[in-house]
């Protein structure tokens, strides 16, 4: 019989629609503004007593909260009605609870438990809808190469000493090359063979300059690319760890191009703290104090961080850096002064042990390194030009005598305050940056603006839906009502799919939904017009309906296929808002094809398919 689906197809369509309704339902339960309290370390737990203390602090400040509870895993959650209250509460609690606890902005889910049990949750809102901060960071690739050359230089020098090969220099030059000088040709050739055997990342060149036999080690192009990619990936990992330390819900940290990183922190309004933690390139270098008889050029002099008038002389050779730190925790020494307890990884522990084994009685210096930048104006050819000036500050934070061989665990003292010690521990625990990063762009979106964007987006979807629905009813009457029902199902399925996939909804994504509302009825228009043509051609109504759906399929498929390809290209080459628009458009096209070709046909079959003779059709 014409216009009849088999039972299995009707059941399949019904199940898809039912699942769509269920997985779209969590979006009816918006997240609460919340402040999450956790311990700053594994040794600190959050219990009911801590929560009562937090509630008391908020009551004293006259700040009301909706609910407060201690969750599984030692986490306290306080819920608020407004984002302004959330921001104030976070500031109050962080100051009152101290450095033993972390008070972070969060969003508390209100989705019923039975929905969460089946993996249903609301759509993630992007930065422009939730509010927060957007940073565009640039990785200093030149510094990445210089750092790696310093490490290679120290490693090769150590290998030369182990092989008893005498050398004079071994420092990086300006053209990404290491230069070693030797007194004899035999020493130079021995170094040449050692480097060729142990380090395939260099191109080697042997020359002679008067009495000196020279060996130049130049990084290959492949090695340069590898170092730069490592620096970018390492910085990505480190920034993600630092964002986790900030306790931000649903952050975005992704690369952009070959040397830039985008960081978006939804819900964060304290840009100063986020910028300090993300942008700080604090790192450590561990070096031995220079001997009094050290040759010229093998030592460097640095000021002490807490006493700039005092200086210390350290060897140029680096034992380990912050990249070898596996864990770091702020603590106090026996005199109550702040310190940082450091645990090294396997390679770092072996290097520290091997170096300090023969250096008992000497002093170990801990060098604190900070990179910064600022925009300055300079006059160039009579015109004022804005340029980014980059600075690097190095200072000694500890210079203590080595009493015994150090292993993978030791402590660093000399921090000026508890806050500085806690921040250094956080940065080292999160991981060292492989290269300095600089802020290229910064944008802040307030929560009130985000709420206005949501309201404007929802209103645009509703208005677009109403206008389309009116036009469809006026033009196609009963079949227009059918198309409108399909439009509701289409929006439901679109929201359900985006929620299930964890796609982030942005303002351009809402624009994609509005566009989907308009495009979703295109397929219905093609089908309905085809049915009208078949009726005018003299076909019976049942045959006309069947022909309308069958013959319009190819046109609908071709038109939507090209749009799908464009959406895929936008997603592949676009960034940020463009990706959000592409995702929504892609999913919306798929759901609109389902509702137009399958769902609406199933409804028509159910209503009209059982009638053998139809004298008229409301279309």
DSSP letter for each residue of 112-138 = -HHHHHTT--PPEE-HHHH-EEEEEEE
- Do residues 580 and 126 touch, judged by C-beta distance below 8 A? yes
CA–CA dist 415, 426 (Å, integer): 14
Residue 288: phi and psi, rounded to 5, are: -80, 150
- Six token digits for residue 438: 């600089």
Residue 507's pLDDT is 83
| Residue 231 pLDDT exceeds 80 | yes
Residue 613's pLDDT is 66
Task: Specify the 3-state DSSP secondary structure of 170.
Answer: coil
Q: Which residues pair with 330 in a beta bridge?
A: 340
pLDDT per residue as tens digits for the range 548-601? 888 888 888 888 888 899 888 988 887 667 877 888 889 999 998 899 889 988
Nearest to 457 by CA among 495, 499, 496, 484: 495
Neighbours of 442 (CB within 10 A): 14
Residue 423's pLDDT is 64
Average pLDDT, the chain: 83
pTM of the model: 0.60
Task: Specify the 3-state DSSP secondary structure of 163.
Answer: coil
| Of 431 and 312, more confident | 312
CA–CA dist 260, 139 (Å, integer): 6
CA–CA dist 310, 127 (Å, integer): 47
- Six token digits for residue 288: 């031995």
- Do residues 428 and 226 touch, judged by C-beta distance below 8 A? no
CA–CA dist 16, 23 (Å, integer): 11
Average the pLDDT over 369-384 and give the result: 70
CA torsion angle 148 150 156 158 (round to 10): -130
| Of 329 and 419, more confident | 329
Residue 427's pLDDT is 59
pLDDT bucket at 303, cuts 50 / 70 / 90:
very high
Give the per-residue SS3 of 319-335. Answer: CEEHHHEEEEEEEECCC
| Residue 3 pLDDT exceeds 80 | no
- Do residues 61 and 35 touch, judged by C-beta distance below 8 A? no
DSSP letter for each residue of 63-95 = ---SEEEEETTTEEEEEESSHHHHHHHHHHHHH
| Residue 276 pLDDT exceeds 90 | no
Residue 15's pLDDT is 95
| Residue 290 pLDDT exceeds 90 | yes
Q: What is the DSSP letter of 474?
A: H
Neighbours of 11 (CB within 10 A): 11
pLDDT per residue as tens digits for the range 477-506? 888 898 899 999 999 999 999 999 877 788
Q: What is the DSSP letter of 177?
A: E
Helix ranges (H only) for 502-540 are: 507-536
Residue indicated by tokens 């004079």: 168
Pairing state between β 504-505 and 124-125: parallel
Which segments within 259-306 are labelled E, that is strand? 260-266, 283-288, 299-304
Residue 247's pLDDT is 61
CA diameter of the chain: 111
Q: Looking at the chain, how many residues does it have?
A: 619
Residue 90's pLDDT is 84
CA–CA dist 486, 463 (Å, integer): 17
| Of 427 and 350, more confident | 350
pLDDT per residue as tens digits for the range 168-215? 776 666 668 898 989 899 999 999 999 999 888 899 999 998 888 999
Q: What is the DSSP letter of 408?
A: S
CA angle 63, 277, 342 (to 5 degrees): 110
- Do residues 551 and 559 touch, judged by C-beta distance below 8 A? no
Residue 189's pLDDT is 92
First to last CA, the chain: 22
Average the pLDDT over 61-76 and give the result: 86
Residue 174's pLDDT is 65
Nearest to 505 by CA among 561, 443, 580, 573: 580
Q: Which residues pair with 441 in a beta bridge?
A: 136
CA torsion angle 137 140 141 142 (round to 10): 170
> What residues contact 76, with CB distance under 8 A and at least 6 apart?
36, 37, 38, 46, 50, 51, 54, 68, 69, 70
Q: Which residues pair with 549 in a beta bridge?
A: none
Task: Specify the 3-state DSSP secondary structure of 316.
Answer: coil
CA neighbours closer than 13 Å in the CB half-sphere of residue 141 = 15
| Of 458 and 333, more confident | 458
- Do residues 350 and 276 touch, judged by C-beta distance below 8 A? no
pLDDT per residue as tens digits for the range 110-165? 889 899 889 888 887 777 787 778 888 888 888 888 878 888 888 888 889 888 88
Residue 40's pLDDT is 67
- Do residues 65 and 55 touch, judged by C-beta distance below 8 A? yes
pLDDT bucket at 43, cuts 50 / 70 / 90:
low
CA torsion angle 419 425 427 433 (round to 10): 140
Q: Which residues pair with 557 in a beta bridge?
A: none
CA–CA dist 265, 497 (Å, integer): 24
- Six token digits for residue 92: 């109050």
Burial 559-590 (b: 16+ CB within 10 A, else e): bbeebeeebeebbeebebbebbbbbbbbbbbe
Q: Measured between alpha carbons, how far is residue 139 from residues 151, 173, 223, 393 in Å?
A: 19, 21, 17, 18
Q: Would the CA dihedral through 168, 170, 174, 176 be positive or negative?
A: positive
| Residue 393 pLDDT exceeds 90 | no
Average the pLDDT over 8-35 and give the result: 91
């Amino acid at each position: 019989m014409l216009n009849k689906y088999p039972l299995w197809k009707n059941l399949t369509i019904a199940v898809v629609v039912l699942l769509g309704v269920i997985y779209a339902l969590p979006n009816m339960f918006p997240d609460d503004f919340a402040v999450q309290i956790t311990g700053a370390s594994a040794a600190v737990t959050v219990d009911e007593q801590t929560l009562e203390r937090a509630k008391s602090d908020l009551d004293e400040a006259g700040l009301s909260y909706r609910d407060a509870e201690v969750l599984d895993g030692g986490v306290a959650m306080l819920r608020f009605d407004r984002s302004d209250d959330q921001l104030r509460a976070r500031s109050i609690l962080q100051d009152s609870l101290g450095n033993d606890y972390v008070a972070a902005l969060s969003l508390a889910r209100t989705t019923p438990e039975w929905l969460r049990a089946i993996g249903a949750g609301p759509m993630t809102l992007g930065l422009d809808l939730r509010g927060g901060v957007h940073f565009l960071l640039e990785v200093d690739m030149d510094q990445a190469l210089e750092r790696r050359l310093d490490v290679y230089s120290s490693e090769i020098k150590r290998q030369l000493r182990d092989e008893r090969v005498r050398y004079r220099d071994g420092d990086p030059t300006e053209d990404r090359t290491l230069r070693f000088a030797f007194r004899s040709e035999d020493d130079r050739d021995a170094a040449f063979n050692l480097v060729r055997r142990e380090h395939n990342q260099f191109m080697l060149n042997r020359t002679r300059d008067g009495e000196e036999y020279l060996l130049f080690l130049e990084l290959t192009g492949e090695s340069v690319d590898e170092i730069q990619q490592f620096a970018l990936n390492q910085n990505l990992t480190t920034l993600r760890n630092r964002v986790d330390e900030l306790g931000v819900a649903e952050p975005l940290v992704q690369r952009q191009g070959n040397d830039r990183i985008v960081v978006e922190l939804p819900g964060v309004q304290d840009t100063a703290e986020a910028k300090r933690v993300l942008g700080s390139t604090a790192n450590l270098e561990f070096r031995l104090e220079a001997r009094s008889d050290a040759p010229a050029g093998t030592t460097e002099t640095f000021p002490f961080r807490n006493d700039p008038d005092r200086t210390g002389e350290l060897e140029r050779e680096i034992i380990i850096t912050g990249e070898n730190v596996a864990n770091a925790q702020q603590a106090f020494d026996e005199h109550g002064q702040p310190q940082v307890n450091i645990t090294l990884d396997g390679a770092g522990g072996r290097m520290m042990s091997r170096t300090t084994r023969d250096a008992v009685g000497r002093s170990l210096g801990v060098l604190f390194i900070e990179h910064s930048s600022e925009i300055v104006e300079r006059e160039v050819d009579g015109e004022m030009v804005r340029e980014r000036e980059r600075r690097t500050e190095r200072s000694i934070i500890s210079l203590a005598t080595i009493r015994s061989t150090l292993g993978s665990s030791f402590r660093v003292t000399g921090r000026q305050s508890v806050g500085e010690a806690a921040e250094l521990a956080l940065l080292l625990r999160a991981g060292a940056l492989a290269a300095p990063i600089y802020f290229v762009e910064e944008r802040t979106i307030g929560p009130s603006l985000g709420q206005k964007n949501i309201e404007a987006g929802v209103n645009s979807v509703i208005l677009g839906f109403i206008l389309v629905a009116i036009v469809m009813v006026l033009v196609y009457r009963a079949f227009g009502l059918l198309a409108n029902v399909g439009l509701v199902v289409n929006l439901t399925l679109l929201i359900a799919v985006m929620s299930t996939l964890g796609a982030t909804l942005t303002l351009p994504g809402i624009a994609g939904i509005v566009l989907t509302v308009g495009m979703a009825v295109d397929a219905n228009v093609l089908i309905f017009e085809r049915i009208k043509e078949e009726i005018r051609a003299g076909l019976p109504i049942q045959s006309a309906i069947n022909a309308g759906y069958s013959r319009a399929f190819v046109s609908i498929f071709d038109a939507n296929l090209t749009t799908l390809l464009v959406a895929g290209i936008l997603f592949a080459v676009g960034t940020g808002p463009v990706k959000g628009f592409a995702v929504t458009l892609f999913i919306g096209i798929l759901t609109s094809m389902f509702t137009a070709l399958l769902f609406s046909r199933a409804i028509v079959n159910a209503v009209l398919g059982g009638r053998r003779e139809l004298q008229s059709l409301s279309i």
